[in-house]
Structure 1
Amino acid sequence: MLKIIFLITVLLICLYTDIRSRKILNIVTIPTIVFSMVINVLGGGIEGLLYSGKGFFVGTGLLLIPYLLGGLGAGDVKLMAAIGALMGANFVFYSFIYTALIGGAIAIALIVKERGFWYPLKNLLFNLTFLRGNLGSMIITSDKKTSSISFPYGVAIVLGTFCTLIWGGF
Protein backbone atom coordinates (compact mmCIF):
# COMPACT_ATOMS: atom_id res chain seq x y z
CA MET A 1 0.00 0.00 0.00
CA LEU A 2 2.90 2.36 0.76
CA LYS A 3 4.27 1.76 -2.74
CA ILE A 4 0.94 2.62 -4.36
CA ILE A 5 0.53 5.83 -2.35
CA PHE A 6 4.10 6.80 -3.19
CA LEU A 7 3.52 6.00 -6.88
CA ILE A 8 0.34 8.08 -7.04
CA THR A 9 2.10 11.01 -5.36
CA VAL A 10 5.00 10.87 -7.82
CA LEU A 11 2.62 10.56 -10.78
CA LEU A 12 0.56 13.57 -9.71
CA ILE A 13 3.69 15.70 -9.21
CA CYS A 14 5.02 14.70 -12.64
CA LEU A 15 1.63 15.33 -14.25
CA TYR A 16 1.54 18.82 -12.79
CA THR A 17 5.10 19.75 -13.81
CA ASP A 18 4.75 18.25 -17.28
CA ILE A 19 1.54 20.15 -18.00
CA ARG A 20 2.82 23.36 -16.44
CA SER A 21 6.38 23.51 -17.80
CA ARG A 22 6.68 20.51 -20.19
CA LYS A 23 9.34 19.01 -17.89
CA ILE A 24 9.49 15.97 -15.66
CA LEU A 25 11.99 16.97 -13.02
CA ASN A 26 15.08 15.01 -12.01
CA ILE A 27 14.44 16.05 -8.42
CA VAL A 28 11.36 13.81 -8.57
CA THR A 29 12.47 10.89 -10.76
CA ILE A 30 15.98 10.21 -9.42
CA PRO A 31 14.96 10.02 -5.72
CA THR A 32 12.00 7.86 -6.77
CA ILE A 33 14.35 5.39 -8.44
CA VAL A 34 16.64 5.31 -5.39
CA PHE A 35 13.72 4.99 -2.94
CA SER A 36 12.23 2.23 -5.09
CA MET A 37 15.45 0.24 -5.01
CA VAL A 38 15.78 0.69 -1.24
CA ILE A 39 12.19 -0.24 -0.44
CA ASN A 40 12.31 -3.33 -2.67
CA VAL A 41 15.65 -4.45 -1.18
CA LEU A 42 14.30 -3.97 2.35
CA GLY A 43 11.18 -5.92 1.46
CA GLY A 44 12.80 -8.75 -0.50
CA GLY A 45 16.57 -8.73 -0.15
CA ILE A 46 18.49 -9.68 -3.28
CA GLU A 47 15.25 -10.74 -4.98
CA GLY A 48 13.85 -7.28 -4.29
CA LEU A 49 16.92 -5.76 -5.89
CA LEU A 50 16.49 -7.96 -8.96
CA TYR A 51 12.77 -7.12 -9.08
CA SER A 52 13.52 -3.40 -8.95
CA GLY A 53 16.47 -3.60 -11.34
CA LYS A 54 14.53 -5.58 -13.92
CA GLY A 55 11.66 -3.10 -13.72
CA PHE A 56 14.08 -0.19 -14.08
CA PHE A 57 15.69 -1.65 -17.21
CA VAL A 58 12.38 -2.62 -18.80
CA GLY A 59 10.97 0.85 -18.12
CA THR A 60 14.06 2.47 -19.58
CA GLY A 61 14.22 0.15 -22.57
CA LEU A 62 10.61 0.68 -23.59
CA LEU A 63 11.07 4.41 -24.19
CA LEU A 64 14.77 4.54 -25.07
CA ILE A 65 14.37 4.29 -28.85
CA PRO A 66 11.62 6.96 -29.07
CA TYR A 67 13.85 9.18 -26.92
CA LEU A 68 16.89 8.60 -29.14
CA LEU A 69 14.78 9.42 -32.20
CA GLY A 70 13.76 12.72 -30.62
CA GLY A 71 10.12 11.85 -30.00
CA LEU A 72 10.27 12.04 -26.19
CA GLY A 73 12.16 13.87 -23.52
CA ALA A 74 14.57 12.28 -21.07
CA GLY A 75 12.14 12.97 -18.22
CA ASP A 76 9.59 10.66 -19.83
CA VAL A 77 12.16 7.86 -19.95
CA LYS A 78 13.21 8.46 -16.33
CA LEU A 79 9.59 8.49 -15.18
CA MET A 80 8.93 5.14 -16.85
CA ALA A 81 12.18 3.79 -15.34
CA ALA A 82 11.07 4.99 -11.89
CA ILE A 83 7.69 3.31 -12.31
CA GLY A 84 9.46 0.10 -13.27
CA ALA A 85 11.90 0.30 -10.36
CA LEU A 86 9.05 0.75 -7.93
CA MET A 87 6.41 -1.62 -9.31
CA GLY A 88 8.37 -4.18 -11.35
CA ALA A 89 8.79 -5.25 -14.97
CA ASN A 90 5.29 -6.65 -15.57
CA PHE A 91 3.59 -3.56 -14.17
CA VAL A 92 5.69 -1.15 -16.23
CA PHE A 93 5.14 -3.21 -19.38
CA TYR A 94 1.35 -3.02 -18.98
CA SER A 95 1.64 0.67 -18.15
CA PHE A 96 3.58 1.13 -21.38
CA ILE A 97 0.83 -0.59 -23.41
CA TYR A 98 -1.87 1.59 -21.87
CA THR A 99 0.37 4.64 -22.30
CA ALA A 100 0.91 3.92 -26.00
CA LEU A 101 -2.84 3.53 -26.59
CA ILE A 102 -3.68 6.71 -24.69
CA GLY A 103 -0.82 8.63 -26.32
CA GLY A 104 -2.01 7.52 -29.76
CA ALA A 105 -5.57 8.60 -28.99
CA ILE A 106 -4.35 12.00 -27.77
CA ALA A 107 -2.19 12.41 -30.89
CA ILE A 108 -5.09 11.54 -33.21
CA ALA A 109 -7.37 13.96 -31.37
CA LEU A 110 -4.79 16.75 -31.65
CA ILE A 111 -4.23 16.09 -35.35
CA VAL A 112 -7.95 16.15 -36.04
CA LYS A 113 -8.33 19.32 -33.96
CA GLU A 114 -5.42 21.06 -35.71
CA ARG A 115 -5.90 19.90 -39.28
CA GLY A 116 -9.51 18.82 -39.42
CA PHE A 117 -10.90 15.36 -39.98
CA TRP A 118 -10.70 14.99 -43.76
CA TYR A 119 -7.07 15.92 -44.34
CA PRO A 120 -5.51 13.13 -42.19
CA LEU A 121 -8.11 10.65 -43.47
CA LYS A 122 -7.31 11.60 -47.09
CA ASN A 123 -3.58 11.12 -46.45
CA LEU A 124 -4.16 7.74 -44.79
CA LEU A 125 -6.33 6.51 -47.67
CA PHE A 126 -3.83 7.78 -50.23
CA ASN A 127 -0.96 6.02 -48.47
CA LEU A 128 -2.91 2.78 -48.15
CA THR A 129 -4.09 2.93 -51.77
CA PHE A 130 -0.63 3.38 -53.21
CA LEU A 131 1.05 1.15 -50.57
CA ARG A 132 3.47 3.80 -49.40
CA GLY A 133 5.17 1.90 -46.63
CA ASN A 134 7.67 4.28 -45.11
CA LEU A 135 6.64 5.95 -41.86
CA GLY A 136 7.53 9.43 -43.04
CA SER A 137 4.86 9.31 -45.71
CA MET A 138 2.03 8.61 -43.29
CA ILE A 139 1.77 12.21 -42.14
CA ILE A 140 2.26 14.66 -44.96
CA THR A 141 1.94 18.30 -44.07
CA SER A 142 0.21 20.61 -46.48
CA ASP A 143 1.76 23.88 -47.58
CA LYS A 144 -0.55 25.97 -45.44
CA LYS A 145 -0.36 23.79 -42.32
CA THR A 146 3.27 23.03 -41.60
CA SER A 147 3.21 23.41 -37.83
CA SER A 148 4.26 20.39 -35.82
CA ILE A 149 1.92 19.02 -33.20
CA SER A 150 3.27 17.96 -29.82
CA PHE A 151 1.97 17.35 -26.33
CA PRO A 152 3.49 16.52 -22.94
CA TYR A 153 3.78 12.72 -23.09
CA GLY A 154 3.96 12.54 -19.32
CA VAL A 155 0.19 12.94 -19.39
CA ALA A 156 -0.14 9.68 -21.32
CA ILE A 157 2.37 7.95 -19.02
CA VAL A 158 0.45 9.01 -15.92
CA LEU A 159 -2.93 7.99 -17.38
CA GLY A 160 -1.53 4.67 -18.61
CA THR A 161 -0.06 3.93 -15.19
CA PHE A 162 -3.37 4.76 -13.51
CA CYS A 163 -5.08 2.35 -15.93
CA THR A 164 -2.66 -0.38 -14.84
CA LEU A 165 -3.33 0.41 -11.19
CA ILE A 166 -7.08 0.18 -11.76
CA TRP A 167 -7.40 -2.69 -14.27
CA GLY A 168 -4.05 -4.47 -14.08
CA GLY A 169 -2.79 -6.46 -17.05
CA PHE A 170 -4.76 -7.98 -19.86
Structure 2
Amino acid sequence: MESIILIIVLFICLITDIKKRKIFNVVTLPTIVFGFAYNISNKGMEGILFSGKGFLIGLGVLLIPYLLGGMGAGDVKLMTAIGTLMGASFMFYSFIYTALIGGVIGLLMIIKTNGLLNSIKSFLFNIVFFRSDLGSMIILKNKNSSISFPYGIAIALGTFCTLIWGGF
Protein backbone atom coordinates (compact mmCIF):
# COMPACT_ATOMS: atom_id res chain seq x y z
CA MET A 1 0.00 0.00 0.00
CA GLU A 2 2.73 2.48 0.99
CA SER A 3 4.59 1.78 -2.26
CA ILE A 4 1.51 2.69 -4.31
CA ILE A 5 1.04 5.95 -2.38
CA LEU A 6 4.75 6.69 -2.82
CA ILE A 7 4.63 6.14 -6.59
CA ILE A 8 1.57 8.40 -6.92
CA VAL A 9 3.20 11.14 -4.83
CA LEU A 10 6.46 10.90 -6.79
CA PHE A 11 4.68 11.19 -10.14
CA ILE A 12 2.66 14.20 -9.00
CA CYS A 13 5.74 15.94 -7.58
CA LEU A 14 7.81 15.08 -10.64
CA ILE A 15 5.25 16.61 -12.98
CA THR A 16 4.70 19.77 -10.92
CA ASP A 17 8.43 20.26 -10.39
CA ILE A 18 9.14 19.96 -14.11
CA LYS A 19 6.22 22.17 -15.20
CA LYS A 20 6.11 24.78 -12.43
CA ARG A 21 9.43 24.26 -10.60
CA LYS A 22 7.46 23.66 -7.39
CA ILE A 23 6.65 20.73 -5.17
CA PHE A 24 3.41 21.60 -3.47
CA ASN A 25 2.59 21.32 0.24
CA VAL A 26 -0.84 19.99 -0.70
CA VAL A 27 0.96 16.80 -1.81
CA THR A 28 3.85 16.49 0.66
CA LEU A 29 2.20 17.43 3.95
CA PRO A 30 -0.72 14.97 3.67
CA THR A 31 1.82 12.30 2.68
CA ILE A 32 3.77 12.98 5.87
CA VAL A 33 0.59 12.72 7.95
CA PHE A 34 -0.48 9.57 6.09
CA GLY A 35 2.98 8.03 6.60
CA PHE A 36 2.77 8.51 10.36
CA ALA A 37 -0.86 7.32 10.55
CA TYR A 38 -0.26 4.29 8.32
CA ASN A 39 2.84 3.14 10.16
CA ILE A 40 1.30 3.72 13.60
CA SER A 41 -1.81 1.77 12.62
CA ASN A 42 0.27 -1.15 11.26
CA LYS A 43 3.14 -1.19 13.77
CA GLY A 44 1.78 0.55 16.85
CA MET A 45 4.33 2.43 18.91
CA GLU A 46 7.10 1.03 16.76
CA GLY A 47 5.47 2.83 13.82
CA ILE A 48 6.11 6.17 15.51
CA LEU A 49 9.83 5.40 15.65
CA PHE A 50 9.81 3.98 12.11
CA SER A 51 8.20 7.11 10.65
CA GLY A 52 9.98 9.48 13.01
CA LYS A 53 13.45 8.25 12.08
CA GLY A 54 12.55 8.37 8.39
CA PHE A 55 11.21 11.88 8.83
CA LEU A 56 14.37 13.09 10.58
CA ILE A 57 16.71 11.51 8.04
CA GLY A 58 14.63 12.91 5.17
CA LEU A 59 14.79 16.34 6.77
CA GLY A 60 18.44 16.08 7.67
CA VAL A 61 19.86 15.06 4.30
CA LEU A 62 18.64 18.16 2.46
CA LEU A 63 18.37 20.71 5.26
CA ILE A 64 21.90 22.11 4.86
CA PRO A 65 21.65 22.41 1.05
CA TYR A 66 18.31 24.16 1.57
CA LEU A 67 19.75 26.56 4.15
CA LEU A 68 22.62 27.35 1.77
CA GLY A 69 20.13 28.20 -0.97
CA GLY A 70 20.88 25.26 -3.24
CA MET A 71 17.61 23.45 -2.72
CA GLY A 72 13.95 24.34 -2.48
CA ALA A 73 11.78 23.72 0.58
CA GLY A 74 9.55 21.45 -1.50
CA ASP A 75 12.49 19.13 -2.15
CA VAL A 76 13.14 18.89 1.59
CA LYS A 77 9.47 18.22 2.33
CA LEU A 78 9.32 15.55 -0.38
CA MET A 79 12.31 13.78 1.18
CA THR A 80 10.68 13.95 4.63
CA ALA A 81 7.47 12.55 3.16
CA ILE A 82 9.39 9.66 1.60
CA GLY A 83 11.17 8.99 4.88
CA THR A 84 7.99 9.16 6.94
CA LEU A 85 6.21 6.76 4.63
CA MET A 86 9.02 4.29 3.96
CA GLY A 87 11.34 4.53 6.97
CA ALA A 88 14.95 5.43 7.71
CA SER A 89 16.71 2.64 5.82
CA PHE A 90 14.73 3.24 2.63
CA MET A 91 15.32 6.99 3.01
CA PHE A 92 19.07 6.50 3.35
CA TYR A 93 19.36 4.44 0.15
CA SER A 94 16.97 6.74 -1.67
CA PHE A 95 19.16 9.70 -0.74
CA ILE A 96 22.32 7.95 -1.99
CA TYR A 97 20.69 7.17 -5.35
CA THR A 98 19.23 10.68 -5.50
CA ALA A 99 22.60 12.33 -4.83
CA LEU A 100 24.32 10.21 -7.49
CA ILE A 101 21.63 10.90 -10.07
CA GLY A 102 21.54 14.61 -9.17
CA GLY A 103 25.32 14.78 -9.55
CA VAL A 104 25.20 13.15 -12.98
CA ILE A 105 22.41 15.46 -14.13
CA GLY A 106 24.31 18.50 -12.83
CA LEU A 107 27.53 17.40 -14.54
CA LEU A 108 25.72 16.81 -17.82
CA MET A 109 24.13 20.25 -17.61
CA ILE A 110 27.53 21.86 -17.00
CA ILE A 111 29.01 20.03 -19.97
CA LYS A 112 26.00 20.92 -22.14
CA THR A 113 26.36 24.63 -21.41
CA ASN A 114 30.12 24.51 -22.13
CA GLY A 115 30.81 25.48 -18.55
CA LEU A 116 33.04 22.53 -17.71
CA LEU A 117 36.29 24.27 -18.60
CA ASN A 118 35.32 27.44 -16.72
CA SER A 119 34.23 25.35 -13.71
CA ILE A 120 37.56 23.50 -13.64
CA LYS A 121 39.47 26.79 -13.95
CA SER A 122 37.45 28.37 -11.15
CA PHE A 123 37.87 25.31 -8.93
CA LEU A 124 41.63 25.18 -9.44
CA PHE A 125 41.99 28.94 -9.02
CA ASN A 126 40.03 28.85 -5.75
CA ILE A 127 42.22 26.03 -4.47
CA VAL A 128 45.41 27.93 -5.29
CA PHE A 129 44.14 31.14 -3.69
CA PHE A 130 42.35 29.40 -0.82
CA ARG A 131 38.86 30.41 -1.94
CA SER A 132 39.67 34.08 -2.16
CA ASP A 133 37.13 36.47 -3.60
CA LEU A 134 39.76 37.51 -6.16
CA GLY A 135 39.56 34.06 -7.75
CA SER A 136 35.85 34.24 -8.21
CA MET A 137 36.16 37.72 -9.74
CA ILE A 138 38.92 36.79 -12.20
CA ILE A 139 37.21 33.70 -13.58
CA LEU A 140 34.30 34.88 -15.68
CA LYS A 141 31.27 34.70 -13.44
CA ASN A 142 27.98 35.80 -14.83
CA LYS A 143 24.94 35.87 -12.57
CA ASN A 144 22.85 34.68 -15.51
CA SER A 145 25.10 31.67 -16.02
CA SER A 146 23.98 29.74 -12.95
CA ILE A 147 22.76 26.27 -13.76
CA SER A 148 19.76 24.82 -12.01
CA PHE A 149 17.31 22.03 -12.59
CA PRO A 150 14.24 20.77 -10.77
CA TYR A 151 15.79 18.46 -8.16
CA GLY A 152 12.48 16.60 -7.92
CA ILE A 153 13.68 14.71 -11.00
CA ALA A 154 16.67 13.32 -9.11
CA ILE A 155 14.55 12.62 -6.02
CA ALA A 156 11.94 10.71 -8.03
CA LEU A 157 14.53 8.71 -10.00
CA GLY A 158 16.57 7.95 -6.88
CA THR A 159 13.50 6.80 -5.00
CA PHE A 160 12.37 4.64 -7.93
CA CYS A 161 15.84 3.05 -7.94
CA THR A 162 15.42 2.21 -4.26
CA LEU A 163 11.97 0.74 -4.92
CA ILE A 164 13.35 -1.41 -7.74
CA TRP A 165 16.79 -2.44 -6.45
CA GLY A 166 16.63 -1.74 -2.72
CA GLY A 167 19.88 -1.14 -0.86
CA PHE A 168 23.36 -2.00 -1.98
TM-score norm. by structure 2 comes to 0.88
Q: AA paired with 2:150?
A: P
Structure 2 vs 1, CA of residues 21 and 141 (structure 1 numbering), >3 Å: closer, same or farther? farther
What do you get for the CA RMSD once the two structures are aligned?
A: 2.2
> Secondary structure, in 3 states, of the residue corresponding to 1:31?
helix
For residues 45-84 of structure 1, the aligned pairs below 5 Å read: 45-84=44-83
TM-score norm. by structure 1 comes to 0.87
1:8-32: CA deviations, max 9, x gaps?
A: 0100000000000000000000000
Structure 2 vs 1, CA of residues 141 and 12 (structure 1 numbering), >3 Å: closer, same or farther? farther
> Given that residues 28 and 81 in structure 2 are in contact (C-alpha distance below 8 angstroms), is that contact kept between their aligned partners in structure 1?
yes
Q: How many residues align?
A: 165
1:68-112: CA deviations, max 9, x gaps?
A: 111111100000000000000011111111111111111111111
Which residue of the partner structure matches residue 92 of structure 1?
A: 91
Q: Kindly, what percent of the aligned residue pairs are identical?
A: 62
Structure 2 stretches of 5 or more lacking a match?
none
Which residue of the partner structure matches residue 40 of structure 2?
A: 41
Q: AA paired with 1:8?
A: I
Q: AA paired with 2:101?
A: I
Structure 1 stretches of 5 or more lacking a match?
none
Which residue of the partner structure matches residue 168 of structure 1?
A: 166
1:14-73: CA deviations, max 9, x gaps?
A: 000000000000000000001111110110000011101110111001111111111111
For residues 1-170 of structure 1, the aligned pairs below 5 Å read: 2-124=1-123, 130=128, 132=130, 142=140, 146-170=144-168
Residue 147 of structure 1: CA displacement?
A: 1.5
